[in-house]
Amino acid sequence: MLTTKKTNSKKTRQIKETFFLYLFLSSVVIGILALAVLLIDVLIDGLPYLNWDFLTKYASRKPLNSGILAPLAGTVWVVLLTAIFTVPVGIATAIYLEEFAKKGRFIRLIELNISNLAGVPSVIYGLLGLAVFVQFLFDGSRNLISGALTLTLLILPIVIIASQEAIKAVPSSFKDAGYAMGATRWQVVKKVVLPQAIPGMMSGIILALSRAIGEAAPILMISSLVWVTFVPTTPNSKFTVLPLQIYTWVSQPQEDFRSIAAAGIIVLLVILLIMNSIAVKIRNKYQQRSEQ
């Protein structure tokens, strides 16, 4: 009696095992298939149009004469400016919250709000940026700085949270050793915490910046330009970015513009891929070093 029950339960356990194996496997396959279909579709549509001319020419009404130079340059500008604004503020906030602030109700409230801000839809930040930066700060000038500041607001919560995680990962024994030597909090932060945490922060920051690159909605509110035939020269220039250009091309009447849009998507994907692999590289390097 007892033995039959045992074999039964072993059988059912095995059945369950295989069932869940295939359930989970099929979930993975669904995700990968969707990605593969998307990539193949974009590559088939876009690759024939992707050449050096496409990267160095401006937008045109004729699909075959169209290029992506202005939005490409705009994207690079915006990302660099966003990084300049985000990195110091984001890291400083994380250091304050983790190392300096007394953990209390107020700090918990701030942290809760930061996590909430990370979930606010990006178009809301676009409206905020339009009102605060474009109309109030720059008197109606839709320049690169307002675009970058808006994206800064968008990714700042993500950067803060990622930096906090990186700081938390520094073993407290390291810090305690520093304090035992009589170091001040700032000395510990500078000599112990930051060198350990910066690689982790960097990969978080790069991932956040690649999110900023893909955003069309807030930039549509800020720039509202979709046909630009110049490369921005100062942070005060008007600009457009890749997702916005792709969005415009898709909405044009001529069929060929959809293939041009696909070529634009490939450019965007390549940039994102490069940035993400840099993030992965930094993380791997960091892991190796801490294992040593």
Enumerate binding residues for other proteins (CB under 8 A): 59-61, 88-89, 92, 96, 100-102, 104-106, 138, 140-143, 145, 223-230, 234-236, 238, 240, 248, 250-255
The one-character DSSP state at 63 is G
CB of 54 or CB of 286, closer to other proteins = 54
CB of 144 or CB of 206, closer to other proteins = 144
Q: What is the dihedral of CA 105, 107, 110, 112, to 10 degrees?
A: -60
- 178-208 exposure pattern, b = at least 16 Cβ within 10 A, e = fewer: beeeebeeeebbeebbbebbbbbbbbbbbbb
Q: How many C-beta neighbours within 10 Å does residue 48 have?
A: 11
Instruction: Compute the least distance from the CB of residue 221 to other proteins, in Å.
Output: 10
Name the residue type at position 273. Answer: L
Instruction: Compute the least distance from the CB of residue 180 to other proteins, in Å.
Output: 25
CB of 256 or CB of 276, closer to other proteins = 256
For residue 30, give Cα distances in angstroms to 38, 44, 48, 125, 128. 12, 21, 28, 32, 37
Exposed, middle or buried by CB within 10 Å (0-12, 13-18, 19+), for 211? Answer: middle
CB of 194 or CB of 275, closer to other proteins = 194
Instruction: Compute the least distance from the CB of residue 219 to other proteins, in Å.
Output: 12
Instruction: Compute the least distance from the CB of residue 105 to other proteins, in Å.
Output: 7
For residues 167 and 165, what is the distance between their CA atoms, to the nearest angstrom? 5
Instruction: Compute the least distance from the CB of residue 18 to other proteins, in Å.
Output: 41
CB of 11 or CB of 61, closer to other proteins = 61
For residues 16 and 10, what is the distance between their CA atoms, to the nearest angstrom? 10
CB of 252 or CB of 276, closer to other proteins = 252
Instruction: Compute the least distance from the CB of residue 86 to other proteins, in Å.
Output: 12
